[in-house]
């Protein structure tokens, strides 16, 4: 049966601009036509988890505006339950996403409606896994952790300190290698450390319990690749797959997601990941 996944988090409208090279401090660069895409770490992870076969509900907030409608349309299209997404007076949060032709990116987020993200404790408590990220207030994240009876997964991005109160609630922490170092190599629950195209490592009690080398692809846009990893990993792990198996699926999904522009556009379905993994093993 599909695992029930609740994602409490950010919903952003991404204004994506592509350019030959990211600007340096004080530099102005010319870009191609800007394009709007649905994004936000929370919404991205919800879409990724739903496409990978999860039964996903999104908890968050948007403004009463067109960017918010665009974000909701994408969640709906991927069969994410959006009945708990609130419409608030603040505008939908916006991210300026600059993507260099090499695939490198820089992101600035103007927090709007995300600051009003809320959730229903009763719905959270019936989920097999609950995922949060750090684009919503810490107080909300702690309440989510307390209400969770399934697996509580924290994606500590964008990175900020993890309080002792939150650390005590975490079952799975997913970070990239930079966040891992900035957090002082935390050691609570299952810690998964991604490293872009390099090996992903899973630690338990400070010991390495699994490692996976992501498949090589010609990436066009890596925005949302980390979110795809989180969503795909949690669907597999909450379905009872081993840590190693869950890492393999998450790495494959994440690699595939980089082949299209826009955080959610390239996120694969479970069938596409199965096919890709089968082709790679031949
Ligand atoms: O992780 C990628 C996401 O970060 C983008 O979609 C953008 O909205 C920012 O939140």
The ligand 1 atom at the shortest distance from the C-alpha of residue 40 is: 8
131-152: pLDDT as tens digits = 999 999 999 999 999 999 999 9
pLDDT at 256: 97
Q: From ligand 1's centre to the CA of 41, what distance in Å?
A: 5
pLDDT score for 32: 74
State how far the alpha carbon of 276 is from the alpha carbons of 64, 69, 95, 218, 232, in Å: 39, 32, 31, 14, 14
- Is 227 catalytic? The answer is yes
Ligand 1 site residues (CB inside 6 A) read 10, 12, 14, 39-41, 44, 95, 107, 109, 135, 223-224, 226-227, 263
Residue 149 included in any domain: yes
pLDDT at 33: 79
124: in domain: yes
Residue 97 alpha carbon to ligand 1 centre in Å: 8
What is the residue with the minimal CA distance to atom 10 of ligand 1?
40
Q: Does residue 136 fall inside a structural domain?
A: yes
pTM: 0.96
Task: Give the pLDDT score at 96.
Answer: 96
Q: Whose CA is nearest to atom 7 of ligand 1?
A: 40
Is 277 part of any domain?
Answer: no
Rounded to the nearest angstrom, the distance between the alpha carbon of 107 and the centre of ligand 1 is 7
- What are 45-83's pLDDT values in tens digits? 999 999 999 999 999 999 999 999 999 999 999 999 999
> CATH number of the domain that 243 lies in?
3.40.1190.20
To the nearest whole percent, how much of the chain has pLDDT over 90? 89
Q: Which pLDDT score, from 0 to 100, does residue 74 have?
A: 98
Residue 116: per-residue pLDDT: 95
Answer yes or no: is pLDDT of 110 > 90: yes
- Averaged pLDDT score across all residues of the chain: 95
In a domain, 281, yes or no: no
Ligand 1: which atom is nearest the Cα of residue 44? 6
Question: What percent of the chain is predicted at pLDDT more than 70?
Answer: 100
Would 87 be classed as within a structural domain?
Answer: yes
Q: What average pLDDT does the segment 175-180 reach? A: 97
Of all protein residues, whose CA lies closest to atom 9 belonging to ligand 1?
40
Tens of pLDDT, residue by residue over 1-37, are 899 999 999 999 999 999 999 999 999 988 777 999 9
How would residue 268 be classed by pLDDT, with cut points 50, 70 and 90?
A: very high
Provide the domain limits for residue 94: 4-22+32-271
Domains of the chain: total: 1
pLDDT at 186: 94
- pLDDT value for 101: 85
> Can you give the chain as a three-state secondary structure string?
CCCEEEEECCCEEEEEEEECCCCCCCCCCCCCCCEEEEECHHHHHHHHHHHCCCEEEEEEEEECCHHHHHHHHHHHHCCCEEEEEEEECCCCEEEEEEEECCCCEEEEEECCHHHHCCCCHHHHHCCCEEEEECCCCHHHHHHHHHHCCCEEEEECCCCCCCCHHHHCCCCEEEEEHHHHHHCCCCCCCEEEEEECCEEEEEEECCEEEEEECCCCCCCCCCCCHHHHHHHHHHHHHHCCCCHHHHHHHHHHHHHHHCCCCCCCCCCCCHHHHHHHHHHHHC
- Split at pLDDT 50, 70, 90, the class of 108 is very high
Asked if residue 219 belongs to a domain, the reply is: yes
Q: Which residues of 97-113 are buried (b: 16+ CB within 10 A; e: fewer)?
A: bbbbeebebebebebbb
Exactly one of 14, 128, 221, 227 is catalytic; name it: 227
229 located within any domain: yes
């Amino acid at each position: 049966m599909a695992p029930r996944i609740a994602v409490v988090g950010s919903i952003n409208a991404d204004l994506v601009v592509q350019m030959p090279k990211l600007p340096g401090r004080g530099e102005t660069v010319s870009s191609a036509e800007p394009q709007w895409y649905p994004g936000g770490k929370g919404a991205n992870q919800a879409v990724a988890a739903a496409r990978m076969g999860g039964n996903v509900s999104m908890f968050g907030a948007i403004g009463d505006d067109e960017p918010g409608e665009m974000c909701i349309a994408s969640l709906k299209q991927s069969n994410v339950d959006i009945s708990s997404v609130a419409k608030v007076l603040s505008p939908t949060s916006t991210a300026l996403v600059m993507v260099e032709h090499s695939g490198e990116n820089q992101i600035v987020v103007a927090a709007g409606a995300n600051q009003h993200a809320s959730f229903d404790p009763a719905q959270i408590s019936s989920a097999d896994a609950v995922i949060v990220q750090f684009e919503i207030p810490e107080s909300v994240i702690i309440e989510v952790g307390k209400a969770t009876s399934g697996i509580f997964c924290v994606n500590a991005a964008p990175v900020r300190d993890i309080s002792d109160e939150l650390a005590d609630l975490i079952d799975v922490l997913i970070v990239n290698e930079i966040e891992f170092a900035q957090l002082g190599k935390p050691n609570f629950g299952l810690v998964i450390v991604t490293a872009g195209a390099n090996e992903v490592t899973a630690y338990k009690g400070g010991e390495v319990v699994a490692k996976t080398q992501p498949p090589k692809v010609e990436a066009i846009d890596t925005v949302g690749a980390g979110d795809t990893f989180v969503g795909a990993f949690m669907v597999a792990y909450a379905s009872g797959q081993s840590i190693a198996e869950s890492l393999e699926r998450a790495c494959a999904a994440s690699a595939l997601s980089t082949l299209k522009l826009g955080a959610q556009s390239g996120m694969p379905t479970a069938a596409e990941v199965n096919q890709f993994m089968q082709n790679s093993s031949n």
